[in-house]
Amino acid sequence: MKYPAEELLFLSEDQVCGLFTPADAIELAEDTFYHIGTGAITVGEMALLYVDDGKKNNFHSMPAVLRHRSVAGVKWIDTYGAPLPGYPFSHGNLVILSDTRTGSPLAIVGATNITTMRTAGGHGVVQARHLANPEPAALSVFGCGAQAQAGIRGFLEGFPSLRQIRLFSRSRPPMEAVRQQYAERIEVVLCTTPEEALDGSRLVLMASGAQGQLFSADGIRPGTTVIGIEGFRDLDPRLGKRADKWYLGYRAPDAHILRSPKLNPGQLLTEADVFGDMTELLTGKVPGREREDEIIVSTHMGMGAHDVNCAATVYERAKARGAGQRLQLV
């Protein structure tokens, strides 16, 4: 039996950057959470494959089916804790897209920039929008790497009320570079201690990559919302118990936070400490912030469904604009 000739579109990292914006990352993160909650998105189980005896370097695949967009896809990513000299921790990440109606392949999309944009600056912003007190004037940011910088871009997009960034990092030069970058847009205060970064702010983004808590749960004041992208790796795990509410992004993949000694130091936190997740909140199954003085923490490790959803939008735009390289398969 003959069927139509098949081709797929290859989209490079540079092309992705030209087709995808911080506003897209926020919109699609919310879309992903919501449609998981309605059942329109199915998140498959992640497969983790180590390539070394020390289990420091691995590949993992993260599949998802997006019924509301007639797309299925898988994110293929490497995380190398012990890379060869000159190579980064993670690079060359891809999303492969297929059409659920025909089963045909659609695209191979560079996913390193998508991952960076949709994390702190995508689902991190969505978590904050639904859990923080309205119209925050200040944002505390812990970290100064690619994720923290993408987070700043996303939060400025998602919170027009922001007037100040309170930035803390172990290294001063990257902080200076961030302040210079945003000098004409917002005041960036370079803080010498975590406590100084928390002062005067009720919205906190944790994007540090630190391997231990940067401040005590006792230092969080009433009315504060803390967004973590690395579980409790850089947060005091007691915050998960002391907060009025602790939300995950999506329970199934974020269960890894509870199991991991690095993300849940001392195995202090249990599933009983979780109030709800964002898929439940956005579909009305659990409430969000109910009082101004609530302390709320929300942690989400991410999932391939976010990347597949973002890649689908990049693919649609590329098709409309004639971008990308066409590869003939059949």
Q: What is the mean pLDDT of the chain?
A: 95
Same domain as 125, residue 194: yes
The domain that contains 87 carries what CATH number? 3.30.1780.10
Mean pLDDT over 272-300 rounds to 98
Same domain as 272, residue 288: yes
Looking at the chain, the whole-number percentage of residues with pLDDT higher than 90 is 95
Domain containing 146 equals 119-303
Same domain as 35, residue 79: yes
| pLDDT beyond 50 at 202 | yes
Q: What span, in angstroms and rounded, lies between the C-alpha atoms of 142 and 199?
A: 13
Quick one: pLDDT at residue 7?
A: 86
Same domain as 241, residue 99: no
Identify whether 215 is part of a domain. Answer: yes
Identify whether 270 is part of a domain. Answer: yes
Q: What is the pLDDT of residues 131-175, one digit of tens each?
A: 999 999 999 999 999 999 999 999 999 999 999 999 999 999 999
Q: Which has more confidence, 329 or 147?
A: 147
Burial of 194 (0-12, 13-18, 19+ CB in 10 A): buried
Domain count, the chain: 2
Identify whether 108 is part of a domain. Answer: yes
Q: What is the pLDDT of residues 56-77, one digit of tens each?
A: 999 999 999 999 999 999 999 9
Q: What span, in angstroms and rounded, lies between the C-alpha atoms of 298 and 326?
A: 41
Identify whether 203 is part of a domain. Answer: yes
Q: What span, in angstroms and rounded, lies between the C-alpha atoms of 36 and 226?
A: 23
Same domain as 311, residue 177: no
Same domain as 293, residue 160: yes
Quick one: pLDDT at residue 282?
A: 98
Quick one: pLDDT at residue 2?
A: 59
User: Which strands, in side-by-side order, build the sheet including 164-168?
Assistant: 187-190, 164-168, 138-142, 203-206, 225-228, 296-299, 245-248, 276-277
Identify whether 2 is part of a domain. Answer: no
Same domain as 248, residue 162: yes
Same domain as 83, residue 179: no
Same domain as 259, residue 158: yes
Same domain as 149, residue 254: yes
Identify whether 1 is part of a domain. Answer: no
The domain that contains 175 carries what CATH number? 3.40.50.720
Quick one: pLDDT at residue 5?
A: 59
| pLDDT beyond 70 at 3 | no
Same domain as 129, residue 110: no
Identify whether 230 is part of a domain. Answer: yes
Mean pLDDT over 249-272 rounds to 95
Mean pLDDT over 32-37 rounds to 98
Identify whether 126 is part of a domain. Answer: yes
For residues 20 and 314, the answer to whether their CB atoms sit within 8 Å is yes
CA 97, chain centre distance (Å) = 20
Same domain as 107, residue 125: no
Quick one: pLDDT at residue 209?
A: 84
Quick one: pLDDT at residue 1?
A: 46
